[in-house]
Amino acid sequence: MSVPPLTALPLELLRQRSSTKWRSYGDDVIPMFVAETGFPLAPAITSALTRAVEIGDTGYTPPRPGIDVDFAAYADRLWGWRPDPSRIRWTGDVMMGVVEVLRAVTSPGDRVVVTPPVYPPFYDTVEEAGAVVERVPLRDTGERWELDLDGIAAALASGARAVLLCNPHNPTGTVHTRESLAALARLAARYGASVVSDEIHAPLTHAPAVFTPFLDAAPEAAAVGYAVTSASKTYNLAGLKCAVIVTGSDETAAVVRSLPWEVEWRAGLFGVIANRAAFSSESDSWLAQLLAALDDNRRLLAELLAAHLPLARYRIPDAGFLAWVDVSAYGWGDNPAPFVRREAKVALHHGPLFGVEGVGHVRINIGCAPDVLREAIARIGALVG
């Protein structure tokens, strides 16, 4: 039986929010740039946060907040993978976790592989850790994007010390196959490198694609890998600071335990409360409805582009609520987003920020009501007559 799609909140209510998405531009602009969604919170999250406010539960995060056990159960339900709770720690957000792990597994000046086009903070995070970005772009097969394993092997063979993986990949929405992740793990093991896997979009994988946790991809992955993830993207909790760092061996777990004590203290209590509610089985039906809504929207966008921007190139993503669209055929410059915002009053994410592969591209947030998506693409389409 099909699941009814989750209904987005009305625009007039969303514009009362005070977050980045709704305060960066005026009410004449449709905001579709930053990765915030326009849906109501899962009821279990609303209930947990409301109760915390009612009793004044606004203090420090406890030393054992329980999110380790909750995430392990969640991973088991969603992906058939049950990490050991004793190898799960927590911090403020995914990028905090990534930079701290990179600091621990690299030395200043070491090279870290990233696979553009990729989430812009990846570049900053590598530099913050004291390392140097080594670009190995995704391969475009003509049908999908995939890791360039030969390119990564060459980088590791020449001395790169780590790979910063986006799994699923932002902005393309690619769900990397188990085979490619296993091959990556074997490469890292061969060259004594580490893999840090950002898996924040994993719960948003659309069938028939199947998400594979990096640490579960191959025996070698547990020895070389660190996964960092959070409920924040799926459940729209970015402002409530909490993420988990997951390891698969005693050795990698010891690395994470050796991080400065304040890494865990950066997790906010409301973030922990909200993430635990998101990871609970009470929120599973909400997630199913969200996926139904996003599945409809990713297909709707293909129809809208065909109707209004037929020269645009778009590949329906395997995961997430972010669409990677090549609009270079319209001559709106290397970075089309400012032109689109100025002329069509639709704010999109700037393609070149994801790497030179993003020239002529925009990233569109489709985590919204279908009518909002229709209006946005119609506005942009009007620019081409």
d(CA 158, CA 165): 19
Average pLDDT of the residues in 359-369: 98
Which of 166, 171, 173 minimizes the C-alpha distance to 200? 166
- Tokens 């297909």 belong to residue: 299
Residue 380 contacts residue 309 (beta carbons within 8 Å)? yes
Are 120 and 354 a contacting pair, CB within 8 Å?
Answer: yes
- The answer to whether residue 129 scores a pLDDT higher than 70 is yes
Measured CA to CA, the distance from residue 184 to residue 206 in angstroms comes to 23
pLDDT for 320? 97
Where residue 2 falls among pLDDT bands split at 50, 70, 90?
confident
Residue 1: the pLDDT is 67
CA distance 257 to 146: 33
Mean pLDDT of 327-331: 98
CA angle 34, 39, 45 (to 5 degrees): 105
Report the C-alpha gap between 107 and 288 in whole angstroms: 42
- Identify which of 255, 265, 205 has the alpha carbon closest to the alpha carbon of residue 226: 255
Whether the model clears a pTM of 0.85, i.e. scores above it, the answer is yes
Q: Note the pLDDT tens digit of each residue in 285-319.
A: 999 999 999 999 999 999 999 999 999 999 999 99
| Gap between the terminal Cα atoms of the chain | 42
Averaged over 48-52, what is the pLDDT? 98
Check residue 205 and give its pLDDT.
98
Is 385's pLDDT higher than 90? no
Residue 104's H or E segment, with its range, is helix 94-105
In the DSSP assignment, the letter for residue 129 is T
CA dist 87 and 226 (Å) reads 10
Q: Across the chain, what does the average pLDDT equal? A: 97
DSSP letters of 291-349? HHHHHHHHHHHHHHHHHH-TT-EE---SBSSEEEEE-GGG---SSHHHHHHHHH-EEEE
Digit-coded pLDDT (tens) for 12-28: 999 999 999 999 999 99
3-state DSSP: the chain helix, strand, coil percent, rounded to 5? 45, 15, 40
pLDDT, average across residues 50-71: 97
Rounded to an integer, what distance in angstroms lies between the CA atom of residue 235 and that of residue 21? 15
- Whether 363 shows a pLDDT value over 70: the answer reads yes
Say if residues 202 and 167 touch (Cβ distance below 8 Å): yes
Q: What per-residue confidence (pLDDT) applies to 122?
A: 98
180-204 pLDDT tens trace: 999 999 999 999 999 999 999 999 9
Name which of 360, 383, 348, 359 is nearest 24 in CA terms.
348
